[in-house]
Chains A and B, each alone.
Chain A
Amino acid sequence: MSSSVLFDEPGPKARRRILILNIIGIIAFVALMGWVLMVLNDFGQLAPAKWLPFTDSSTWQNYLLPGLMNTLKSAAIAVVTSLVFGMIFGMGRLAQNKLINGISSVVVEFFRAVPVLLMMIFFWIFLGRMGVVSPDDAPFVAVVVSLTLYNGSVVAELVRSGVHGLPKGQREAGTAIGLTRGQSLRIIEVPQALVAMMPALLSQFVVILKDSALGQIINYNELLFNAKLVGTANANVFQALVVAAVIFILINFALTSLAQTVQTRVARRRGNAAATEDDEDAAEAAPVGTTATIDADQGPGSGKQ
């Protein structure tokens, strides 16, 4: 079915109009691209000398690949730690104990509301000054800790909304076979919620990877930081930033596509074809900016009749 509810199957007249507008659109796009290329050429940015450094293996060996490795390293560790953090505080928010519940809520709400960059700057200077970690490691640790606190809080919300999205009978069944509330949460509800969370989780990994680039501001020598070095050394900042951006886009696009595939799988497995479309949007809306705030009514598994 067409992706939009706004228009009907077009008749012959409408089809002709669409064709004409389509051609105008293509011409406008080509004109825009042509203008961009012209400006680039005027400023000498298309000169081969500006691009050739990126065909040189030493540029990749000395700058881009080590930078990419550092990006992936901080992101990969942050993915694991934020999953752990999210599980703990997500279950904390679901706990019946008022104290645990309260503490978890404050922690999660606080770290979701504070910009990641502020945390990075704070931990960077603070950890370095306090001598908790060596000054050389401080940027890396600050990046990982900040990404964990923020994204862990988002994961905690995912856990919560995932469990809330489960049919009520699941908990009742758990209670019926004599499990305590905590046991049924751990053994029955959270594992099921994890399946529903998968697409949103994958989208969150995109956020982690993107936010790791904030590390350049606190001198963590990740991909963007090193690309800037290349750009300064060869006087081709424009080209260096484009290359770095393309690398980020390719990785993130792959992750996003994977998330969508998983989304369709999960929806199909639940035999809930009607909810597929709505859910896809929830997953797409999830990686909004760096805030994937997912409310109970917006998370995966919602929109089920």
Chain B
Amino acid sequence: MDAYLSLWETYGPQMLSTFWTNIQLTFWAAIASVTLGGFLALMRISPIPSLRWFGTAYVNIFRNTPLTIIMTFGVLVLFGVFQVQLASDFNLNFFRIAIIGLTIYHAAFFCEAIRSGVNTVPLGQAEAARAIGLSFLPAARHVILPQALRGAIAPMGNTLIALIKNSTVATAGSVAEISGTMKTMIEFRPDVGILVFLTVAAFFVIVVIPIGLLSTYLSKKLAVAR
């Protein structure tokens, strides 16, 4: 017990600050990738073939690429080869590159989540909307989208959870986040190795499980009864 408490004394602040980095990565990447994913979803369901094709190609490419490659790419290629500087501060630069990496990857999944929401709306709804004289935009706004967004809650919640956990991969992009802290802690304090793991794991459990419960609750509560 004393050993564990001394661990907190030594590494406590570092644990909290690096986990806060994960939360920040998640926050910015979530906003950016929902936006990008929304655009991609619009492209994929639009009547314009070239945009549909582009959206499909994007999703298929980035959904099938390991996030680690994208992160490594950010550091070794974007920064190393093309000398992209997003901030004069070294750490902030990598932090921003990591956000871009997380965004590029998760936008594909948010796109699919939103699109699957649109696809939960039966075709008859659009037909009915047109039958009562609504044109495209009012039909979309009053009939289709409200149902589509409700259908997208569960998959979007899942993607958000994936994003939180994947923020640890930013370690491959030279960002000081919680998995790096955990590595240091286990290396220097092998006596409490299991407790270190369980402590860091608990951080994620505390954040992830409520979001999972909330999205399940909301998706059930707001589900359109069919």
Contact = CB atoms under 8 A, between A and B. Distances in A.
Interface of A: 1, 3-8, 10, 14, 18, 21-23, 25-26, 29, 39, 43, 45, 109-110, 113-119, 121-122, 125-126, 129, 206, 210-214, 216-217, 224, 228, 231, 237-238, 241, 244-245, 248-249, 252-253, 256, 277-278, 280-282, 284-285, 287-293, 295, 297-298
Contact of B154 (A8, A45, A217, A298): A298
Contact of A217 (B68, B123, B126): B68
A5 to B, nearest CB: 4
A203 B116 CA distance: 16
A95 to B, nearest CB: 22
B172 A216 contact: yes
Interface in B161-176: 161-163, 165-166, 168-169, 171-172
A210 B64 contact: yes
Given A113-B209, A217-B68, A291 B161 contact: yes
Contacts of A248: 64-66, 69
5 contacts: A126-B197, A213-B66, A237-B81, A291-B158, A297-B219
Contacts of A249: 60-61, 64-65
A205 to B, nearest CB: 12
Interface of B: 45-51, 54, 60-61, 63-69, 72-73, 76-77, 80-82, 105-106, 109, 112-113, 115-116, 118-123, 125-126, 130, 136, 140, 144, 154-155, 158-159, 161-163, 165-166, 168-169, 171-172, 178-179, 182-183, 186-187, 190, 193-194, 196-197, 200-201, 204-205, 208-209, 212, 216, 219-220, 223
Contact of A211 (B66, B193, B208): B66
Contacts of A8: 126, 130, 136
Contacts of B196: 122
A202 B77 CA distance: 32
A252 B69 CA distance: 14
B219 A110 contact: no
A281 B169 CA distance: 27
Contact of A118 (B115, B121, B163, B182): B182
A232 B113 CA distance: 38
A245 B65 contact: yes
Given A6-B126, A10-B47, A285 B158 contact: yes
A4 B165 contact: no
A259 to B, nearest CB: 12
A117 B60 CA distance: 24
A241 B50 contact: no
A79 B61 CA distance: 23
A292 B118 CA distance: 20
A150 B119 CA distance: 29
Contacts of B190: 125-126, 129
Given A25-B54, A118-B179, A118-B201, A237 B80 contact: yes
Given A43-B82, A210-B64, A237-B76, A245 B69 contact: yes
A5 B162 contact: no
Interface of A is mostly: helix
A125 B179 contact: no
Contacts of B201: 110, 113-114, 118
B123 to A, nearest CB: 5
B127 to A, nearest CB: 9
A224 B50 contact: no
B159 A114 contact: no
A113 B208 contact: yes
The 6 closest A-B pairs by CB, nearest first: A289-B162, A25-B50, A213-B66, A252-B64, A281-B116, A291-B162
Given A129-B193, A213-B66, A289-B163, A115 B168 contact: yes
B125 A5 contact: yes
B166 A115 contact: yes
A237 B75 CA distance: 11
Nearest to B147: A5
Nearest to A125: B186
A285 B166 CA distance: 17
Given A110-B205, A114-B201, A114-B204, 10 more contacts: A4-B118, A7-B47, A25-B48, A25-B51, A118-B204, A213-B68, A231-B76, A241-B77, A256-B60, A281-B116
A278 to B, nearest CB: 6
Contacts of B69: 213, 224, 241, 244-245, 248
A116 B165 contact: yes
Contacts of B183: 121, 125
Contact of B49 (A22, A114, A210, A281): A22
Nearest to B201: A114
